[in-house]
Structure 1
Amino acid sequence: MKLPRMTGWLLIALALSIIIAATAPQQLPVSLYKLNLITIAGVVGYWLDRSLFPYARPDSFLARDLEDIENTTEVEDPPLQFELETFLQNDLLFATSMLRRALIVAASMIAVGLGA
């Protein structure tokens, strides 16, 4: 049986929570509060990206089915190769939209984490 990704980090977080509960139980509500704020900031950052760029979502550059891929013309030497099937010449748009979303989500989480 293969464990889900990030299982190791989940176990480390649980171990640290147990240590905090044993050494300073009054800090557990503070930790949960901060975890809640960061989680909400990630969700808000995601929806901020979706509302700011409704026509440039990362999934809009993916091929929906094999007919979409077969109806495009072949490029001689594509600069980027991905595991996901994208429309030809949209690989760069796909990558930049994913990076844009990651930066917006990260910026919102950092802003909340810093208390801004």
Structure 2
Amino acid sequence: MVPAPVSPSKLPRLTSWWLIALALSALVFFLAPQQIPVSLYKLNLLALAAVGGYWIDRAIFFYARPQLSALRCLWDWSSIKVTPEDQQRGYVVVGNGQKIPIHEVMEGAHSDASNDPAKLYFMLGCMLRRAIIIAAAMLAISMGG
């Protein structure tokens, strides 16, 4: 089963959160305008902590990155048809426009390992580890940075 394309939205991601943040910033501006520089300073520190946490994770665990290709173990490879044009190009274009290299299609279609969720669990562990490191960096900065 190839994943269905995400329904296209006219608005960018997290638009509602941007609007909430904008409304709260306007409220701070009207109630205590002298606090705007402090808010911007704290927001800057949090953004730097998030970036720092990300790069700490990449530096420490350079060999263990979450790879989105691990999600391909969930696909039904038998539904992907390879044409001679695909073989010539070197990739297959699936329904949502994603290009899959031909070697991965062949590997997935002719392998029993495609049902092995180990890659998926590894990706999950990497993503959780990265989220925890970033959250710890942001928490450390916000508590006393």
> Are 1:20 and 2:20 counterparts?
no
Kept after mapping to 2: 8 A contact 1:41/1:108: yes
1:1-116 pair list within 5 angstroms:
2-59=10-67, 62=70, 65-71=101-107, 73-75=111-113, 78=116, 80=117, 89-115=118-144
Unaligned runs of 5+ in 2: 1-8, 73-99
Larger Rg: 2
Give distance in 2, aligned partners of 1:61 and 1:8.
30
RMSD: 2.3
> What code does the residue aligned with 2:19 have?
L
| Structure with the bigger percentage of strand | 2
Give distance in 2, aligned partners of 1:93 and 1:53.
13
Kept after mapping to 2: 8 A contact 1:46/1:101: yes
Work out the percentage of aligned pairs sharing the same amino acid: 46
TM-score (norm 2): 0.65
Give distance in 2, aligned partners of 1:76 and 1:13.
43
Q: 1:13-62 deviations in whole A, cap 9, x for unaligned?
A: 11111111111111000100000000000000000000001111112864
